Amino acid sequence: MTDAPSYTANEILAVLSARQLKDGQVVFAGIGTPLLAATLAQRLHCPSLTILFEGGVVGAFVEPGKLPPSTNDQRCAKRSNMVLGSADVLLLMQRGYVDVGFMGGAQIDQFGNLNSSFIGDPQAPKVRLPGTGGGNDIASLTNIIVAIKHQKRRFVEKVDFITSPGFVRGGKSRTESGLLRGGVFRVITELGVFGFGEESGRMKVLALNPGVTREEVQDNTGFTLEFDERLETTAPPTTHELETLRLIDPDRLFTA
């Protein structure tokens, strides 16, 4: 009997995120976990996955060991289909050509709203964050996957600022705000996989990662979670998934 492979929190984020993607999709991915997940899916089960970067690259195919440090790094362009301006890439989302967008943030709330602008009072913030970039466009126009570390300070009842909208105030408030498509499809953390109630728009636990309890995930969340009636346990990363991921990122830039 062989021991199960060990893995880091960043590795399980990438693997579980990759499993959410389907062949033929067009995916807007940023640097770090989003790019790892999209590239891993491309190598394993989505050979026809098209990866877009905010910097303008359409159809990126990242070479193992050559992960770009930013979406504007032109090594992303090798073997790509085309390179556009940033505005043109964002316009592809407006036209409905992008299926999935990857997001992250400093805070996420019970309705999937993301904050990457500031922490604290807007007049005197404790911390200033990078801001939106293309985040608001992605969250407003596509189905998004949020890959984020699970901490109570990140999972808050109400974000300090809505940089990128989820289901806003829950219920029908997203469509009532003029956002007629998209929304948060999945939230992936080192503790589990989360979705959102169709009617409530509130976060719910769909699956717990191996060894994680209901109590543990609730204790690390700043609001009351719903649990799916068919609560499952995720399959741990396989040896093949981890070997492929480590081939892509041999220097452990994003998986350590």
Alpha carbon 144 to its chain's center: 7
Alpha carbon 203 to its chain's center: 15
Yes or no: say if 116 and 71 are a contact pair by the CB < 8 Å rule. Answer: no
Count of Cβ atoms closer than 10 Å to residue 240 Cβ: 10
Q: ∠ at Cα 189 (247, 115), nearest 5°?
A: 110
Count of Cβ atoms closer than 10 Å to residue 176 Cβ: 10
Yes or no: say if 64 and 250 are a contact pair by the CB < 8 Å rule. Answer: yes
Task: Verify whether residue 243 is a known catalytic residue.
Answer: no
Question: What are φ and ψ of residue 92, in 5° steps?
Answer: -60, -35
Yes or no: say if 51 and 39 are a contact pair by the CB < 8 Å rule. Answer: yes
Question: What are φ and ψ of residue 196, in 5° steps?
Answer: -140, 140
Q: Which residues have C-beta within 8 Å of that of residue 174, sequence separation ≥ 6?
A: 165, 166, 167, 168, 183, 201
Amino acid at 152: K
Annotated active-site residue in 11, 54, 190, 241: 54
Yes or no: say if 121 and 163 are a contact pair by the CB < 8 Å rule. Answer: no
Where in the sequence numbering do the catalytic residues fall?
54
